[in-house]
Amino acid sequence: MAIVTFAPAIQRHVSVDEQEVDSTDVHDALAQCVSRTPGLRGYLFNDQGRLRPHVAVFVDGKLIRDRRTLRDGLTGTSSVYVAQALSGG
């Protein structure tokens, strides 16, 4: 099973533990996490169901490529890390 971990900055807003998910892509993994912890939905996704700009998702240490549909693939041993994206000027 893949493991989804949420950065401490996210945990300050939503109390969520590390999650084990049986998923083949990021979309399904995050959907499983949201179903277990509904408070994540508003923090991670906008009203259209798109990943918010301030959220960064990494799979096995690499930033995901598909922010639109979240179809980056996972294996049974993948590690997913969800963090606040840095921005500024």
The confidence score (pLDDT) of residue 61 equals 97
Among all chains, which residue has been given the structure tokens 């259209």? Answer: 48
- The answer to the question of residue 71 being in a domain is yes
- The answer to the question of residue 42 being in a domain is yes
**Residues 12-32, buried b or exposed e (16+ Cβ, 10 A)?**
eeeebeebebebebbbbbbbb
| pTM to 2 decimal places | 0.92
The confidence score (pLDDT) of residue 8 equals 94
Would you write out the chain's pLDDT as a tens digit for each of its 89 residues? 999 999 999 999 899 999 999 999 999 999 999 999 999 999 999 999 999 999 999 999 999 999 999 999 999 999 999 999 876 55
- Cβ-in-10-Å burial (0-12, 13-18, 19+) of 51 comes to buried
Residue 37's domain comprises 2-84
- The answer to the question of residue 58 being in a domain is yes
- The answer to the question of residue 89 being in a domain is no
Task: Look up the CATH number of the domain holding residue 69.
Answer: 3.10.20.30
User: Contact 78/6 with Cβ under 8 angstroms?
Assistant: no
What's the number of domains the chain is made of? 1
The amino acid that residue 19 corresponds to is Q
Write out the H or E segment, with its range, that includes residue 44: helix 40-44
